[in-house]
Structure 1
Amino acid sequence: MIYTVTFNPSLDYIVSVDDFKLGLTNRTSSELILPGGKGTNVSTVLKNLGFESTALGFVAGFTGNEIVKRLNDMGIKSDFISIENGISRINLKLKSIDGTEINGAGPDISEEKVNKLMDKLNQLKEGDVLVLAGSIPSSMSDNIYRDIMADLKDRGVMIVVDATKDLLLNVLEYHPFLIKPNNHELGEIFDVKLTTREEVIPYGRKLQEKGARNVLVSMAGEGAVLIAEDGQVFDTPAPKGKLINGVGAGDSMVAGFVAGWIEKQDYEYAFHMGVASGSASAFSENLATKEEIINVYNQVMGK
């Protein structure tokens, strides 16, 4: 079974505003409300590709209820823990102004609630897949992903981590199966600027030396790179297409890679499925459908 964890899920309010003017009343030209957060996005794309998963994490208030309802309506199983105080966040995505976002803070999560999540995760067994994705509320420790991986050590659970800074670095000693920094996040870790696919390879290998098994680096319009555990390196330029909505493209890449790996246990196939999934979502108003992903995959493979 595949499980995703989103500590701070959201309702994403995605709008376009023609000719936005600061300080004045602006009207939307399009709007869309979706359940958001990196782990829930991964679950959504996995569902679109035909892979079932269970979305875990925390929800609060009327927005939390709406997140659960919308996931259920999409046929995505969830098992969130309810927080009595506060509300799950609302994230405003202004897609017509170069990916401008205003993200909410989310509720405080008590130690008791964290322990409830840990109890759920401790039921995972060999062969299960766990995706830990996204930021955490300010009330939580940067060690939370590390603590989860420590608890699951030697259980045979395949763990994927899509996070930044300390959340990511803290888990490397527990050898996550896959990590997915983008080139800016990778450069921030090592205090360098990385702009080409060739430049990211040695720094991806440094993260392998620290414990990561596979390092997938997304680079937006520059493409992507995979430094695989078996020593292979794959890279590809970005597929051609019109950027419509970059929200969730990186999460879609993670979902595509996981789906590809489960299907064939082949790094090259998983990599190209990841690239196709991320790009297909970027070219779509919503997170990509299976048909959209396969179309981009065929383009990537020259079919």
Structure 2
Amino acid sequence: MINTVTLNPAMDKIIYLDALNIDCMNRIQKTEKCMGGKGTHLAYNFSLLGVENRTFGVAFGGTGKEIIDILEGSGVETKYLWYETPESRTNYLVVDNDRNCTFMAERGTTLTAEMTQELLAMMEQNMAKGDILVIAGDASNVEDKEVQVKLLQIAKKMGLKLYLDSSGAFMKKGIEYHPYLIKPNLEELSELAGREICDVAGVTTALDELPDIPAIMVSMGGDGWVFRYQGKTYRGHGLKVPVGNTAGCGDALLTGLVYCLEYTEMPVLEMLAFSTALSATCAMSNQTVGFDIAKAKELQKDVMIEEL
């Protein structure tokens, strides 16, 4: 069973403008609304792929109830603590006609140490040895600053297979717990390496310096990605598609990787092409979560991948 956790879930409101102009009136063309948060995105996406999964989190008020309803409606086994007040956060994504995406995120309600302790206890009660735990996103809204380390400790104690998509000091700490896969971006890889990394050559050198992690996906935004797996390194190029918005593309890519690694026997190049195509279809939509599986299968033949 795949398990995800989201400490700071959200609803995303996407606002489309002709252009974002400062200090004047901006006329909104249209708006979209969907669920936000890395762990919630992954849970929803796994359900789209027909994968049984369980998700944990903390939600507040009517916004939090909306998040829970979306998760349950998608078929996810949802284990959330819910409090009547205050409100879970709303994030705002402003997209102009050039498809520039400006993201504005509310901080979110601070979780007390008691809340996070109850959440961790619920996770231990519901997960089992051999399960998969995907830890994604940050934990900036918690009193207990060790909560993510405690998640790692639970994974180790329970014998869970760990996938890690986080940043900063927690990513460094997480590597000590032998994750099966990590997914840093260039900035996060730079933090791990202790120097600025800005190109493919720098990425491959930094990967040589990391501990033995079975799978490492380094996302490079519009420049594609570098993936190291089974002793080989691959360079993938992003698909050129009409962009609705770019939020959620990384979550779609990670969903595809976990799905292919755990539930299929796809050859590595096919796995990478399919995951990249899923991410592209997310970019093509007006939502920050989800993808078009049928369209991804059409697009994957166009994904350019080379072995380095």
Normalising by the residue count of structure 1, what TM-score does the alignment of the two structures yield? Answer: 0.90
CA positional deviation for 1:34:
0.7
Cα distance change on mapping 1:27 and 1:296 into 2, 3 Å: same
1:115 is matched with 117
Q: Please tell me whether the aligned partners of residues 234 and 271 of structure 1 are also in contact (alpha carbons under 8 angstroms).
A: no
1:77 is matched with 77
**The 10-residue stretch of structure 1 (213-222 or 261-270) with the greater mean CA deviation from structure 2:** 261-270
2:149 is matched with 146
Q: Distance in 2 between matches of 1:142 and 1:243?
A: 37
2:103 is matched with 101
Q: Please tell me whether the aligned partners of residues 2 and 53 of structure 2 are also in contact (alpha carbons under 8 angstroms).
A: yes
1:235 is matched with 235
Q: RMSD of aligned C-alpha atoms? A: 2.2
2:168 is matched with 165
Q: Please tell me whether the aligned partners of residues 111 and 141 of structure 2 are also in contact (alpha carbons under 8 angstroms).
A: no
Q: Distance in 1 between matches of 2:111 and 2:89?
A: 13
Q: Verify: 1:178 aligned to 2:181, yes or no.
A: yes
2:281 is matched with 280
CA positional deviation for 1:285:
2.1
Q: Distance in 2 between matches of 1:105 and 1:215?
A: 29
Q: Please tell me whether the aligned partners of residues 258 and 270 of structure 1 are also in contact (alpha carbons under 8 angstroms).
A: no
Q: Please tell me whether the aligned partners of residues 133 and 155 of structure 2 are also in contact (alpha carbons under 8 angstroms).
A: no
CA positional deviation for 1:180:
0.6
Cα distance change on mapping 1:63 and 1:291 into 2, 3 Å: same
The residue correspondences of 1:127-142 to structure 2 (distance < 5 A) are 127-142=130-145
Unaligned 5+ segments in structure 1 are: none
Q: Distance in 1 between matches of 2:194 and 2:220?
A: 17
The residue type equivalent to 2:173 in the other structure is N
Q: Please tell me whether the aligned partners of residues 237 and 304 of structure 2 are also in contact (alpha carbons under 8 angstroms).
A: no
Provide Cα deviations, 1:89-126, integer angstroms capped at 9, x if missing partner. Answer: 10001122622111011111122221222122224223
3-state SS of paired residue (1:81): strand
Q: Distance in 1 between matches of 2:155 and 2:73?
A: 31
The residue type equivalent to 1:31 in the other structure is T
1:89 is matched with 89
3-state SS of paired residue (2:246): coil
Aligned length: 299
Q: Distance in 2 between matches of 1:126 and 1:235?
A: 34
Cα distance change on mapping 1:155 and 1:185 into 2, 3 Å: same
Q: Please tell me whether the aligned partners of residues 197 and 223 of structure 1 are also in contact (alpha carbons under 8 angstroms).
A: no
